[in-house]
Structure 1
Amino acid sequence: MITAIVRFPLPEGLSSDEVKAAYEHFAPQFRGAAGLIRKYYLLGAERTGGGVYLWESLEAVERMYSDAWRQRIAERFGASPQIEYFDTPLVIDNAAASA
């Protein structure tokens, strides 16, 4: 598995509600995305937006993070995303364990 952490600076003056609305607008492209296990949308105190993604494979990551996807982020939020990748050898999911 691969964890990707995506970050981008948010434009000044964009409210938390506007950021959430933008995330909700983009969410459908990730529902059912091949190879995506989980995604968390992020809103940092330092005006940083982004997401944490858990993918089945690097190939799945590369299919999603196309040039067009990067351009949509840049157009909506005013900056290209920065992406870090991590091998993810183990995941502990306490919520699923208690179900």
Structure 2
Amino acid sequence: MITAVVQFPLAEGTTLAEAQAIFESTAPRYLGLAGLIRKNYLFDPETCVGGGCYTFENRAAAEALYNDAWRALIREKYGADPEVRFFETPVMVDNVSNEIITETP
């Protein structure tokens, strides 16, 4: 599994309610996305930084999402280029399904 952490600045003074409304407007585009296990939207009201934490089945699925069109969408929606960092995710604890999910090396 791969976890991608995406960050981008939001407009100064953005509130949690405003960030939530923006995020809710984009959330449907990620439903049923091939290879995406979960996406969590992120917001830091102190720094007005937004983003997402995505868990993918594999790196290829992650890289398929972060193409030029996606970057242009982020730039248009938020007015800034996103920063994307990838992390191997060898173990994930899922308290909803009450299981520990591991990667087979």
Whether the TM-score (by the shorter chain) exceeds 0.5 is yes
> Sequence identity, in percent?
47
Give the counterpart letter for 1:87 in structure 2: E
> Partners in 2 of 1:65 and 1:23 — Cα distance?
17
Mapping of residues 9-88 of structure 1, within 5 Å: 9-44=9-44, 45-88=46-89
Instruction: Compute the TM-score of the two structures, normalised by the length of structure 2.
Output: 0.87
- 1:19, CA displacement in angstroms? 1.5
- 1:82, CA displacement in angstroms? 0.2
> Partners in 2 of 1:17 and 1:40 — Cα distance?
16
| Higher normalized contact order (CA 8 Å, seq sep 6+, divided by chain length) | 1
- What is the RMSD of the two structures over their aligned residues, measured on CA atoms? 1.3
Q: Deviations 1:15-43 (Å, cap 9, x if unpaired)? A: 32222111111111100000000010001
Instruction: Compute the TM-score of the two structures, normalised by the length of structure 1.
Output: 0.92
> Partners in 2 of 1:15 and 1:91 — Cα distance?
31
Unpaired stretches in structure 2, ≥5 consecutive residues: 100-105
Which has more strand, going by share of residues?
Answer: 2
Unpaired stretches in structure 1, ≥5 consecutive residues: none
Q: Which runs of 4+ in 1 moved over 3 A?
A: none
Equivalent pairs, count: 98
